Amino acid sequence: MKLRWEYITAVGGLLVMWWLLYLWLGEQIIAEPRATFTLLWEELGEQKFRAHITASLWRILAGMLVALAAAVPLGLAAGSSPRLDRWLKPVLYLTYPLPKIVFLPLLLMLMGIGNGSKIALIAIILFFHLLATTRDAARAVPPSAVTSLRSLGGGPWQLFVHVYWPATLPALFTSLRIATGTVVAVLFFVETIATTKGIGAYIYNAWSQTNITGMAVGIIVLSLIGILLYELFDLLERRLCRWTGYR
């Protein structure tokens, strides 16, 4: 993460807003900032709290990996093959707008209340984001690039490696960044159901005990997970797609 002045100023601004809200609405609703950071510091020293963080991170990363592994090859294949796309398009258009989160009860029945159903829901929601993006980006690859590679003697596999994959990578990172907010929201939702592990469960638990400071600690950690992911995708894109600065 780049600790630039702009970043520090933004964090400072948010803290001031929090403080003003606390003064306005009172400690029954808004946690006192200093007490929150003190508790956060104490909790970070606790093995039990760190296990909550690990559980959440694992669910997110596993869900993302499953979604990437399923969506990217399918999206690239559909985007580069009009024949396959003819079949995939109606399926995608019918299923993309569905609120996938309502399938959680079904997943719970199918996969039980363990990590599997939670990871599956995150993966399903992300899968559709990534599939739609990768397909569209692959369709937008200029025909001259395909002609060029074929004329140089490249076959279908080389087309994926040298053309479709690098050409769609920037769109993939944009999609991942946009989906980060949704993924963290879904994580919170699945962790409030039938689990004791995870930052979502921690927040839910604090809420049920009207522990306002504990809730705030959980919210901060969940937000930090979101920021961490966002910055991670930003960093990876800058590393892997240096050329996008010169388009």
Partner 1 sequence: METTSPELLRLEGICHSYGRPGSEVVLAGAGLSLRRGESLALLGPSGCGKSTLLMIAAGLLQPGAGSASLDGQPLLSPDPRIALVQQAYGLFPWKTVHANVLLGLQLRGRRAGPGELEAMLSELGIEGKLDSYPGQLSGGQQQRVALARALLLKPELMLLDEPFGALDSLTRERLQELLLALWRREGFAMLTVTHSLQEAAMLGARILVMDGAPGRIIAEVDNIGAGEAGYRDSDAYIATLAKLRLAIGAAA
Residues that bind partner 1 (CB under 8 A): 142, 144-145, 147-154, 158, 162-163, 166-167, 169, 241-243, 245-247
User: Would you say 3 or 152 has its CB closer to partner 1?
Assistant: 152
CB of 172 to partner 1, least distance (A): 13
Please state the separation of Cα 128 from the chain's center in Å.
12
Distances (CA, A) of 43 to 50, 56, 119: 8, 16, 25
CB of 145 to partner 1, least distance (A): 6
User: Would you say 84 or 241 has its CB closer to partner 1?
Assistant: 241
CA distance 124 to 120: 6
CB of 246 to partner 1, least distance (A): 3
Which DSSP symbol is given to 30?
A: S
CA distance 214 to 3: 27
User: Would you say 145 or 228 has its CB closer to partner 1?
Assistant: 145
CB of 13 to partner 1, least distance (A): 36
Please state the separation of Cα 183 from the chain's center in Å.
4
CB of 242 to partner 1, least distance (A): 7
User: Would you say 85 or 182 has its CB closer to partner 1?
Assistant: 85
User: Would you say 83 or 247 has its CB closer to partner 1?
Assistant: 247
- Evaluate whether 225 touches 216 at the Cβ level (below 8 Å): no
Residue type for 211, please? N
User: Would you say 87 or 243 has its CB closer to partner 1?
Assistant: 243
CB of 137 to partner 1, least distance (A): 12
DSSP string, 60-95: HHHHHHHHHHHHHHHHHHHHH-HHHHHHHHHHHHHH
Torsion angle defined by CA atoms of residues 70, 74, 76 and 78, in that order, rounded to the nearest 10 degrees:
-160
